[in-house]
Amino acid sequence: MGNGKIGIIGGSGVYNIEGIELINEHAVETPFGETSSPVIEARLAGTEFYFIPRHGKTHHLLPSEVNYRANIFALKSLGVDYIISISAVGSLKEELPPNTLVLVDQFIDWTKGKRERSFFGNGLIGHVSCADPIEKNLQRLLAESCKKCELPHAINGTYICIEGPQFSTRAESQLYKSFGASVIGMTNVPESYLAKEAGIAYATVAMVTDFDAWKDEHCTVDEIMAVMKINNQNAQKLLLDALPRLRENKFDFDKQNSIGVMTPKSSWSAEHNKLLKTLLSE
């Protein structure tokens, strides 16, 4: 069975979970620059994990400014094999109202090319399948925790990722809805794709805050903040159950990144060898 470590990427609300113990901070050097913040090593419900606040400790990074490669590479270098991603999203479906936790299984990339989205390049060619970007075993485990905690949730669905930071126009929102997408966000691509390239099991908990622009429904700032408060409370309840559940039920999974490397080993540079030593590590 798998014995890798657990990582969480999400909002700074993780710090506020009752009972969390902060163990250490790690300033991890990566070939891709700095992470969003030092990686937090923590313990909750008897389970140790590594945590990166995606937008930085002070929420100072736009979605397009997040160094996704550095974040994923740093977690991989610390031995992380499982990542739980927690993200705020808008809903594109009537049946997914605010405060629903959507455990998506697919992504559509609708970003504009500003983001570095692969570890490959600079003479090293690799093509890793993202047909199934979510690790089903991890998704299933999160669903079990949602059920046990009696949290409103939905299993499966498509997350369309836009560039931001602006929210959609009504016309754009209707277009995304016509694609059949379930939720809309700004951060899980290329994060999820990079996890595949790094051989990490990745699953998203998409927390619905509103109905995006397709529904003619005005929300005040106070109403949105109230929804976000409940979402944060639900995410904390979920993690309190899911972390020990994952600790006790770690699983092996098919890491397809090694078969995606096309450049022959004889042509790898010293930098390529160093990079792949981390990305392809078991």
- Residue 223: inside a domain, yes or no? yes
Domain range enclosing 129: 84-276
Query: Does residue 254 have an active-site annotation?
Result: no
**Residue 89 placed within a domain:** yes
Please give the chain's pLDDT, 282 residues, in tens. Answer: 567 999 999 976 677 788 899 999 999 999 999 999 999 999 999 999 999 999 999 999 999 999 999 999 999 999 999 999 999 999 999 999 999 999 999 999 999 999 999 999 999 999 999 999 999 999 999 999 999 999 999 999 999 999 999 999 999 999 999 999 999 999 999 999 999 999 999 999 999 999 999 987 766 778 878 898 999 999 999 999 999 999 999 999 999 898 999 999 999 999 999 999 999 987
- Catalytically annotated residue among 81, 109, 132, 212: 212
Decide if 132 is catalytic.
no
Predicted TM-score (pTM) of the model is 0.96
| 205 in any annotated domain | yes
Q: Are 96 and 102 in contact (CB under 8 A)?
A: yes
Domain count, the chain: 1
- Rounded distance, CA 57 to CA 14, Å? 11
Identify whether 42 is part of a domain: no
pLDDT digits (tens, 9 = 90+) for 190-245: 999 999 999 999 999 999 999 999 987 766 778 878 898 999 999 999 999 999 99
- Domain membership of residue 46 (yes or no) is no
Domain membership of residue 18 (yes or no) is no
d(CA 63, CA 49): 24
Q: What is the CATH number of the domain that holds 222?
A: 3.40.50.1580
Angle at 44 between CA 43 and CA 47, to 5 degrees: 70
Query: Which H/E stretch holds residue 25?
Result: strand 21-26
pLDDT tens-place string over residues 165-192: 999 999 999 999 999 999 999 999 999 9
Among 81, 109, 132, 210, the one annotated catalytic: 210
Distances (CA, A) of 14 to 18, 52, 55, 221, 249: 9, 10, 13, 22, 22
